[in-house]
A and B are shown apart, each in its own frame.
With several copies, the nearest count.
Chain A
Amino acid sequence: MTEKLSNAQIAWRAAQDIADGAYVNLGIGFPEMVARFQPPGREAIFHTENGVLGFGGAPEPGEEDWDLINAGKKAITLKPGTAFFHHADSFAMVRGGHLDVAILGAYEVAETGDLANWSTGPKGVPAVGGAMDLVHGAKRVAVITDHVTKKGQPKLVERCSLPLTGVGCVTRVYSSLAVIDIEGGRFVLREKLPAITMENLQNLTGAKLHVTAPVEDLICPEL
């Protein structure tokens, strides 16, 4: 295994592509971390499925109001301009194409843009939440993920083996090793860690990496 980005660094990299004033939904868990890394001078407006837009970060411990939470059931805070609405309006925002970016976690992403991130198979209790809605509607659906599984298997694959969340929906992957666009059913490598060779990166990827323009160095600050 080679040197790789931490989760915070992956989240930082994803945050760099969010424009000022963008409407953004961050999937529950790891993607929520992206909110911490908004570049100076830019302010994204965050949406959460349970009916809050334009909210602030976590309150101080002990200051939580459990009627003010995000979709991950974590306490959030008000900011000037926060709005409340019901669940049908909330998913009108999602399904109706009003979000600029949704950033989600992944079990697997295919070169077709297919995403699997809700079920690891028939065992246990299935739970889908808003993932299947979020992959439709946002103008840009990005994934942040380790490049390989804990067992070292590729998470970027030709075809997903796990139950799908959505078909042909992902357009960019921020992994622990690279930034990869999905275009025309192909993985197109945009950036990679300077320390990893093309050959090693290809070996850790389950489908062919295409290069259509000079590959940039993926450089993140220490976080």
Chain B
Amino acid sequence: MDKRLSSLIEAVADIQDGATVMIGGFGGSGAPIELIHALIDRFIETGSPKGLTVINNNAGNGHVGIAAMIEQGMVKKMICSFPRSADPTVFTQAYLAGEIELELVPQGTLAERIRAGGAGIPAFFTPTSVGTELAEGKPVQQFEGRDYVMERWLKADHALIKAELGDALGNLTYRMAARNFSPLMASAAARTVVQVSHAVEPGAIDPEHIVTPGIFVDAIIEVANPAQEEELNRAGAHHP
């Protein structure tokens, strides 16, 4: 078994119109820029995929990555906790113009819903958002005298994530705070594609240090020296 792909084009070829796509990253740390841009390039060339639901903590920054997807009109809906960021004009404009839907989820609930999706837990109870407008319409139940909101799992058709080391079996490590949602998303998507900064042979990662075991990964593509979203934005980059 070898999960290594040979091109970014191949890596994003399976994503269909209307798909739900989890994209790793928190702000610029962990954003799989090259995978996203390959997907945008495909859209520009073929008109597909469009009508996507994208799950990420944020809603893009500047004019690269998720913001560039929104700018191209590929995204029907964002599921995220914090669509306001340093330079979020793309999402803000689309949202205020009614061109994009937003499902706002508290950050810890977003993480737990994704983990639940990967772990086969269809619903769980959390104290987060009890008594607030984000709990409206959700079942509330009391345990030991305290109210909790029932939240549902989140799954996706695809996950696009960025990792540091990846072996042919799909075992992954991450780089510092670029880990964030990616291990959860890898487990919660029907198909998980990973851009790794260094593709290595099985056995090259100490079994104690593997963060995402390969069972959660379907394909890896090596992208050496990947772009960092924050640095792109500080340089005023646009894609395309």
Contact = CB atoms under 8 A, between A and B. Distances in A.
Interface of A: 20-21, 23, 43, 45, 47-54, 65-69, 71, 73, 78-99, 114, 124-133, 136-137, 163-167
Contacts of A133: 106-109, 128
B207 A84 contact: yes
A96 B120 contact: yes
A89 B210 CA distance: 12
Given A84-B176, A127-B104, A163-B132, A96 B214 contact: no
Contact of B177 (A50, A136, A164): A50
Contacts of B181: 86-87
Contact of B179 (A51, A66, A78): A51
B222 interface: no
B211 A82 contact: no
B132 A129 contact: no
Given A91-B107, A92-B119, A83 B210 contact: yes
Contacts, number: 214
A79 B167 CA distance: 13
Main secondary structure of the interface of A (DSSP, over half): loop
A131 B109 CA distance: 11
B213 A85 contact: yes
Contacts of A80: 201-203
B108 A85 contact: no
B144 interface: no
Given A71-B26, A125-B84, 15 more contacts: A73-B86, A79-B203, A81-B171, A84-B208, A87-B181, A88-B114, A91-B107, A91-B111, A95-B127, A125-B83, A125-B95, A128-B134, A132-B109, A137-B127, A167-B130
B180 interface: yes
B211 A86 contact: yes
A52 B178 CA distance: 10
A127 to B, nearest CB: 4
Most buried by A among B81, B112, B128, B201: B128
A50 B203 contact: no
Nearest to A94: B108
B92 interface: yes
B120 A92 contact: yes
B176 A128 contact: no
Contacts of A97: 120
Contacts of B188: 96
Most buried by B among A43, A88, A164, A166: A88
A67 B110 CA distance: 21
Contact of A81 (B102, B167, B184, B231): B167
A69 B177 contact: yes
Nearest to A86: B183
Contacts of B91: 125
B62 interface: no
B170 to A, nearest CB: 9
A88 B92 contact: no
Nearest to A130: B107
Nearest to A90: B111
